């Protein structure tokens, strides 16, 4: 689990101060059918989603927040609220925990959180997200928003001019990923600059190390050893993962966002189409490091979170 590293830190402290700030931030609260039924007695402004799922529209604040900064439905509040701040994206590292804008986090007067309490809350929210019906359907949309962010930050010199296509794969294994990538390669244009993003919503979602091993295997074994001229030394392949960490870099280093995407993703582009840009790889890396360092991790994390659906909740 991605929050285990943080829970090894003995100073994990939290106590809700009932300030109400978390009920006023931009974003939505998502309800499954059972949670929506629990709240039927309240007058809610919501949007029906597929399968009966609903979304509380906050406006300037959650509709359940009272003038006394209390939740009008505290005893039956949604899982999303009950699990906060023990969301996987917040528990990714000590830095993401400290950066969360919640006055109850790491307060000297707050008690140390029991590991079992934080783990149970995080696991409950992660399980809820896995059942969210729009998660898989939104994976491509998430990746499109992320690709636009990459272009806006100029992290990829050919991102603005390339024709881009997105493919969502149901693969959950190395062999399945290999097949999906090979099929995507076959659809790459011969001459024009084009990028294909193969998105894997269910492949190594929490373990970027395993995902990287799969990408390395596909690139080195499936492609590198292939006698097919379409694969060997012709297609450039790059992996991206929401929890990507570069070796020998602090967990909160901005440079990690160079290789982070909302979902495990592989990009494919013909080497011949980017030959000129590839010659400047070192300069690109240096420019990217300056850009990311100038923005800083909190700002990058906020932009990255905004690519996700629902944007304020996922890991």
pLDDT tens column, 62-73 = 878 888 888 888
Sequence-distant (6+) residues with CB within 8 A of 167 are: 180, 184, 196, 197, 198, 199
- Cα 123 to Cα 128: distance, rounded to the nearest angstrom: 8
Quote the pLDDT of residue 54: 67
Q: Give the model's pLDDT for residue 174.
A: 85
Band the pLDDT of 47: cuts 50, 70, 90: very low
Give the per-residue pLDDT at 49: 46
Over 90: is that where the pLDDT of 289 sits? yes
> Does the structure show a pLDDT above 80 at 255?
yes
Predicted confidence at residue 250, as pLDDT, reads 93
Short-list 126, 122, 205, 195, CA closest to 164: 195
What pLDDT band is residue 293 in, cutting at 50, 70 and 90?
A: very high
Q: Which two tokens stand for residue 49?
A: 């989603």
298 closest CA partner among 250, 253, 249:
253
Tell me the pLDDT band of 258, cut-offs 50, 70 and 90: very high
| Phi, psi angles (nearest 5°) of residue 240 | -135, 145
Position 194 confidence tier, pLDDT thresholds 50, 70, 90: confident
Span 100-120, average pLDDT: 80
What is the pTM (predicted TM-score) of this model?
0.57
What's the average model confidence in pLDDT over 100-106? 84
pLDDT tens across 134-185, in order?
Answer: 555 678 888 999 999 999 999 987 777 778 889 888 787 888 888 889 888 8
pLDDT at 259: 95
CA atoms of 91 and 136, how far apart (whole Å):
23
Give the pLDDT score at 22: 86
Is the pLDDT at 232 greater than 70? The verdict is: no
Q: How are beta strands 163-168 and 46-48 bridged, if at all?
A: unpaired
Region of poorest pLDDT, from 132-146, 239-253, 266-280: 266-280
**132 — pLDDT class (breaks 50, 70, 90):** low
Q: Give ∠ CA 86-314-117 in degrees, rounded to 5.
A: 15
H helices then E strands: how many in the chain? Answer: 12, 7
Secondary structure E strands in 66-137: none
Q: Report the pLDDT value the prediction gives residue 129, as an integer from 0 to 100.
A: 72
């Amino acid at each position: 689990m991605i929050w285990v590293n943080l829970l090894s830190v003995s100073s994990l402290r939290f106590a809700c101060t009932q300030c109400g700030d978390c009920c006023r931030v931009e974003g939505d609260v998502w309800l499954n059918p059972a949670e929506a039924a629990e709240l039927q007695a309240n007058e809610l402004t919501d949007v029906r989603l597929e399968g009966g799922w609903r979304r509380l529209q906050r406006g300037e604040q959650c509709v359940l927040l009272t003038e006394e900064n209390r939740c009008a439905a505290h005893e039956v509040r949604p899982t999303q609220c009950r699990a906060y701040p023990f969301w996987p994206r917040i528990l990714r590292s000590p830095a993401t925990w400290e950066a969360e804008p919640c006055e109850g986090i790491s307060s000297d007067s707050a008690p140390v959180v029991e590991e079992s309490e934080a783990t149970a809350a995080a696991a409950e929210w992660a399980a809820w997200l896995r059942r969210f019906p729009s998660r898989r359907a939104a994976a491509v949309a998430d990746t499109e928003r992320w690709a636009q962010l990459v272009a806006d930050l100029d992290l990829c010199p050919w991102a603005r001019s390339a024709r881009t296509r997105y493919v969502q794969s149901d693969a959950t294994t190395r062999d399945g990923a290999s097949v999906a990538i090979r099929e995507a390669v076959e659809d790459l244009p011969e001459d024009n600059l084009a990028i294909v993003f193969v998105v894997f919503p269910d492949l190594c979602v929490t373990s970027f190390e395993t995902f990287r091993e799969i990408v390395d295997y596909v690139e080195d074994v499936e492609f590198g050893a292939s006698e097919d001229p379409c694969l060997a030394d012709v297609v450039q392949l790059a992996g991206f993962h929401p929890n990507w960490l570069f070796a020998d870099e602090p967990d909160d280093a901005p440079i990690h966002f160079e290789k982070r995407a909302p979902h495990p993703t592989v990009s494919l582009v013909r080497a011949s189409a980017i030959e000129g840009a590839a010659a400047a790889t070192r300069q690109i890396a240096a420019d990217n490091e300056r850009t990311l360092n100038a923005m800083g991790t909190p700002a990058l994390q906020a932009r990255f979170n905004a690519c996700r659906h629902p944007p304020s909740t996922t890991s």
